[in-house]
Structure 1
Amino acid sequence: MTMQGFRRALVGAALLLILFPTLVLAQSVTLTGPLSNTSVKTGDDFFTDELQNPRDFNERRDIGYEEGFGNNISVSNGVWRGVNEGTGAWVMPLYPGHKDNLYVEPLPGDKELPKVGFNHRIDTSKYTYLSYLVNPSSRSNFAIYWEHDESK
């Protein structure tokens, strides 16, 4: 199925749910696995392909920069954990850097200076999806900001 066909099917399913919710919600669904082993190629991944450092969360700097977590950060078993110290904590998966004024220092134990967004821009014609699993311990606000500003 092409991406356009997938989008049409998704829009059609959404319209059915909106127009006929009781009919759609009352249906049973059976999911079956493929009849044979199926190999699915992994998709393009910016951090793996461009930075040669997958965000597998086996290293402290798999989050490029964070603020408001103090010393409450740990990384183990592929999970980055942080407890914010108040309001306004945030993370940058790819630290953007700053034009003509790059202040980035490696943390103790880092092998090299982290690669930053200013020198490694994300090609949005190739990388079109952003996926994160966020598990807050309490109800809170969550936002994603995407910025493109050549002047910074």
Structure 2
Amino acid sequence: MEHLEIERKFLVKSEAYKKEATSPIRIAQGFLNTDPERTVRVRIMGEKGFLTVKGPSNESGTTRFEWETEITASEATNLIDLCEDGILEKNRFEVKLGNHVFEVDEFMGDNKGLVVAEVELKHEDERFEKPSWLGEEVTGQTKYYNSQLSKLPYSKW
């Protein structure tokens, strides 16, 4: 199947990633639909907008259908106004390590204090180097999905 997203997700245990990271990009995102069978996300990332549809995750939580298209920032802003409650805001840092890039999201607002890193893979059992600041793996734990953080923020756990 085309458009598969294969990724693993981890908690981050220290701010050491910031020494190796690109400058953060501010992200605001909301969800038009948070049904686990078909999540529809609207994102403003820097000066660009994106509309993303994600399907259900497989049993391990590493793989799912993902389709994304770029839209204008103004279109994204208009769509965010239609989203379900719980707009997420975060700063994203990118850290290159070996052949992989870790996306480290530092959440704000009701999710402040939560820092999560994701690494995209070509196949589920692909090996990758783990940086020292990477903590517990939370792949497949739905409470860490952005769509769920918008409904039940980290501060309310």
Measured against the shorter chain, the TM-score band is under 0.3
Which has the larger share of strand? Answer: 2
- Larger relative contact order (Cα-Cα within 8 Å, sequence gap ≥ 6): 2
TM-score (norm 1): 0.24
- Larger Rg, first or second structure (1 or 2): 1
TM-score (norm 2): 0.23
